[in-house]
């Protein structure tokens, strides 16, 4: 799983989130930073309110937390979502040392590698590079 820090950097770089079932997120600053929530039609869903998207907690599973504005949560994209966001620039994922490298096609026709300890973090670093260019 990517770190909250990487997720915040992706959001700041312009990665848009359209919540769907299975998406993971955290709620920072409410003494729940370590709790990872998952959007699910069974317990957590997205409601389009006049003020913007709300993440709603249904039933008794999530105690008294009824909803939270989407901008108050941090999306933790999954490997497939990060790979999809890379689009045609993605070439391959390869082992390198004790980690993994995401190999991208660079605009000049060469390849560039983005390395981290696991696939999701390597994809996140690669996407930060793409969003920053």
Condensed to tens digits (0 to 9), the pLDDT of residues 65-85 reads: 677 889 999 999 999 999 999
pLDDT of residue 60 exceeding 90, the answer is no
pLDDT, averaged across the chain: 90
Number of domains in the chain: 1
Q: What is the pLDDT of residue 46?
A: 85
* Confidence at 44, pLDDT banded by 50, 70, 90: confident
Which residues, at least 6 apart from 76, have a Cβ–Cβ distance to it below 8 Å?
Answer: 1, 2, 4, 7, 24, 25, 26, 36
Q: What is the pLDDT of residue 63?
A: 54
* Confidence at 91, pLDDT banded by 50, 70, 90: very high
Q: What is the pLDDT of residue 30?
A: 80
- The parent domain of residue 71 ranges over 4-132
Q: What is the pLDDT of residue 58?
A: 66
Residue 101 burial (CB < 10 Å; 0-12/13-18/19+)? buried
Rounded distance, CA 127 to CA 121, Å? Answer: 10
pLDDT of residue 3 exceeding 60, the answer is yes
């Amino acid at each position: 799983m990517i770190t909250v820090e990487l997720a915040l950097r992706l959001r700041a770089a312009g990665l848009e989130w359209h919540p769907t079932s299975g998406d993971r997120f955290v709620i920072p600053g409410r003494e729940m930073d370590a709790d990872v929530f998952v959007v699910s039609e069974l317990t957590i869903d997205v409601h389009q309110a006049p003020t913007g998207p709300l993440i709603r907690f249904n039933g008794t599973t999530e105690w008294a937390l009824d909803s939270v504005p989407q901008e108050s949560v941090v999306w933790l994209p999954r490997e497939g979502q990060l790979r999809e966001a890379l689009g045609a620039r993605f070439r391959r994922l390869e082992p390198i040392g004790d980690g993994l490298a995401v190999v991208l096609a660079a605009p000049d026709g060469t390849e560039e590698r983005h390395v981290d300890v696991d696939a999701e973090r390597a994809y996140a670093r690669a996407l930060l590079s793409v969003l920053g260019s």
